[in-house]
Amino acid sequence: MLVQKEVEIGGKKLSIETGRYAKQANGSVMVRYGDTMVLVTAVAATEAKEDQGFFPLQVEYREKTSAAGKFPGGFIKREGRPSEKEILSSRLIDRPIRPLFPKDFKNETQIIASVLSFDGENDSDVLGAIGASAALTISDIPFDGPIAQIRIGRVDGEYVVNPTGSQLKVADLELVVAGTADSITMVEGEASEVKEEDLLGALKFAQSELKKIVDLQNELREAVGKTKWEVPTNEIDEALKNDVYSLAEEKQKKVVWSALTKDGRSAANNEILEEVKTALEEKYTEQEKVICEVMHDMEKDMMRDRILSEGIRLDGRDTKQVRPISIELGILPRTHGSALFTRGETQSLTTVTLGTKSDEQIVDGLFEEYRKKFMLNYNFPPFSVGEVGRMFGVSRREIGHGNLAERALKMVFPEESAFPYTVRVISDILESNGSSSMATVCAGSLAMMAAGVPIKKAVSGIAMGLVKDGDKYAVLSDILGNEDHLGDMDFKVAGTEEGITAFQMDIKIQGISFEIIEKALHQAKEGRLYILGIMNEAIQKPSEQLSPYAPRLITMKVEIDQIGLVIGPGGKTIQGLQRLYGVDINIDDDGTINIASPNSEDANKCKEYIKKLTATPEVGEVYDGVVTKIMDFGAFVEIIPGKDGLLHISQIDNKRVEKVSDYFKVGDKVTVKLIKIENGKFSLSRKELLKEESKKEENKEVV
């Protein structure tokens, strides 16, 4: 049955249609906003694999370039592996829906969002999330939704729902918000040093719009919704649970109360688990997984109870305390900048590379192609958590964490006029026990300062956690890995002393109140400022000297109609300059020229040549020229690159000249004065300079 529901969101019609497309999926919808259309399907296996210990959810967001009337770039004219934009959009869909599946549901589930039409203004990523929720809501797949997702921007002090691409270019705040009818479940975005109150205001503004979209999906469910599958609950044998607790409770409590390191706590937990499994293996055969589950829940309950009752955490800190921080700068001598940032058991080794215009990243997709001068890459090797793992390439998690850190730091990146370099930051996580993306923000800020990148301000980041039980809750600063895993929230906030530059929040429970979000934001500010204080002790301002191994970059500008002169026919002139001076030259359409060289002297020589090449000869000016041709009636002299003038035989000397060749040969250097320009031809004189020199000598004799 074909059903379509629609509602006005941000002054435009949002419609969700089902019953026309992909009818063999468990649930499918077409979401439209403006002329952007996304088909989203939800399919789940009818049975879970035997002994499936986790929920295998797969979310795939794909953009068809035909949606924007474009061909794919590259040699193979079809879509290939997902772009960074597609991966980040997949994560925006995955994160808010994943906590809403029943705990015991382990059937393989796949969400596919396909962008089929794109109008150039309305981004399709939030439509993919709305479609995923709607497809799951009307399907027979168990799902505790619906949820909604929108983008909020602030333009000229006013919040805007689903701003267009042109509006986002001038917005000082952009965030994607997901939530239910009455609470927020996910947030991600960037800002130009906004205050905590501004971010909170944007979230409250978003809530009413989210409710409209949730209500729309509920209407669709009432019209075509299928009966949900029943999910069998895995009840744990109370006798087994009691036996595990009698053997392990006191020992586990001691571990939780002992403020051990990550490795120490893991080793102690494994020792207790092995003791319990050995003691119960005859009584409860083939129940190892259940015993592990009971032990896991025991540690979780103990950790949470202690935090809520005493305010003491696994490593002995109180709820607001930040782990010890150490900073080392410039430890990699041949990189252009480096920083080792260690916070507790989380460590980022970050490097900075300075490049030229040719090193910019070209980003192609549904939107108009653009270039990036600043990029950040985040790597999370398996040894950082003491594990062995296969390294296939960059994971979605690495792309997501790197994108968050990049958004935090790009807000303080200098304008091209102040710093024309392309900059690449690489964060290698060497140890991890919580908040490695925020360690990357801190290390990236420090490394750029050490490299001499004139960032506007230092940026730090902190991850906030939450433990909530009924009305009781505790917000945690600088969370550990276990506090993330066993807690209810992961809220990352980065910014300067003045305000927030990037943020990301994920909730594992059904949603949280604005009261909790406000407390988390203000507690995050305290932690952020504390970390900035330590960072400022290590380096207060960007280094005034670049690394001796960094390229020297000189910027100059010529008139637009002179660009062709610098390039030359078939690129002959610019290629010759690059070979002659050993430089790399890039020219923008506005006439801006970037000259890069390992040697600043060579770059300056090239700049001077280009200045002469593009200079306009003026009557009365004196030039040091080179003889290019000898004729009976005079010599042709190149006064500036590419421009010759005639030094007539009568203008060579004060006395009569019989033969030009008696005075010059090709290649000789000669100083001349430009005495006339007529019909684009230059008349030169050496005699005028000789006369002036004679007068000076006569004046000296008189004196």
Residues spanned by the domain of 631: 622-702
Residues 697, 574, single domain; the answer is: no
Assigned domain for 22 exists: yes
User: Which secondary structure element, helix H or strand E, spans residue 232, and what is its range?
Assistant: none
Most confident of 132-136, 229-233, 659-663: 132-136
**pLDDT of 412 strictly over 60:** yes
Segment among 257-261, 338-342, 431-435, 518-522 with least mean pLDDT = 257-261
Q: What does the longest C-alpha to C-alpha distance in the chain come to? A: 124
Find the mean pLDDT for residues 437-457. 97
pLDDT at position 417: 83
Quick one: pLDDT band at residue 529, thresholds 50, 70, 90? very high
Q: Which amino acid is at 632?
A: D
Distance CA 660, CA 630 (A): 7
CB-based contact 65:115 (threshold 8 Å): no
Assigned domain for 316 exists: no
Assigned domain for 66 exists: yes
Residues 375, 392, single domain; the answer is: yes
Output phi, psi for 424, to 5 deg: -120, 125
Residues 268, 210, single domain; the answer is: no
As given in the structure block, the two tokens for residue 663 are 């005075």
Segment among 255-259, 280-284, 508-512, 519-523 with least mean pLDDT = 508-512
Quick one: pLDDT band at residue 654, thresholds 50, 70, 90? confident
**pLDDT of 209 strictly over 90:** yes
Residues 405, 258, single domain; the answer is: no
pLDDT at position 232: 87
Find the mean pLDDT for residues 219-242. 92
Per residue in 146-184, pLDDT tens?
999 999 999 999 999 999 988 999 999 999 999 999 889
Question: How many C-alpha atoms does 471 have within 13 Å on its Cβ side?
Answer: 0
CB-based contact 380:436 (threshold 8 Å): yes
Residues 388, 292, single domain; the answer is: no
- State which of 171, 198, 224 marks the end of a domain: 224
Give me the number of domains the chain comprises.
Answer: 5
Q: Which amino acid is at 115?
A: V
Alpha helices (H) in 55-141, listed in sequence order: 84-97, 125-138
The gap from C-alpha 19 to its chain's centroid, in whole angstroms, comes to 38
CATH of the domain at 438: 3.30.230.70
pLDDT at position 702: 60
DSSP E strands in 598-659: the ranges are: 622-631, 634-640, 643-648
Distance CA 570, CA 397 (A): 46
Residues 475, 501, single domain; the answer is: yes
As given in the structure block, the two tokens for residue 135 are 């497809």
Assigned domain for 103 exists: yes
Distance CA 229, CA 646 (A): 94
Assigned domain for 157 exists: yes
Find the mean pLDDT for residues 443-463. 97
Quick one: pLDDT band at residue 700, thresholds 50, 70, 90? low
Per residue in 2-49, pLDDT tens?
999 999 999 999 999 999 999 999 999 999 999 999 999 999 999 998
Quick one: pLDDT band at residue 701, thresholds 50, 70, 90? low
Residues 10, 55, single domain; the answer is: yes
Residues 581, 628, single domain; the answer is: no
| Better-scored residue on pLDDT, 138 or 619 | 138
Instruction: Give 326-332 contacts, CB < 8 A, sequence gap 24+.
Output: 327/446, 327/534, 327/535, 327/538, 329/446, 329/447, 329/450, 329/538, 329/539, 330/450
Assigned domain for 320 exists: no
Quote the pTM value.
Answer: 0.87
CATH of the domain at 266: 1.10.10.400
CATH of the domain at 565: 3.30.1370.10
Quick one: pLDDT band at residue 643, thresholds 50, 70, 90? confident
Q: What's the sign of the alpha-carbon dihedral 181, 187, 192, 197?
A: positive
Alpha helices (H) in 49-146, listed in sequence order: 84-97, 125-138
- State which of 285, 310, 335 marks the end of a domain: 310
Strand order in the sheet with 173-179: 158-161, 148-155, 173-179, 184-194, 500-507, 489-495, 460-469, 472-477
Assigned domain for 229 exists: no
Per residue in 478-505, pLDDT tens?
999 999 999 999 999 999 999 999 999 9
Q: Which residues contact 136 (CB under 8 A, 6 or more apart)?
A: 27, 42, 97, 111, 143, 145, 146
Alpha helices (H) in 351-491, listed in sequence order: 396-410, 436-451, 481-486
Assigned domain for 343 exists: yes
Residues 109, 254, single domain; the answer is: no
Residues 291, 382, single domain; the answer is: no
CATH of the domain at 630: 2.40.50.140
Residues 200, 338, single domain; the answer is: no
Per residue in 278-334, pLDDT tens?
999 888 888 888 999 999 999 999 999 999 999 999 999 999 999 999 999 999 999
Residues 448, 357, single domain; the answer is: yes
- State which of 191, 224, 257 marks the end of a domain: 224
**pLDDT of 589 strictly over 80:** yes
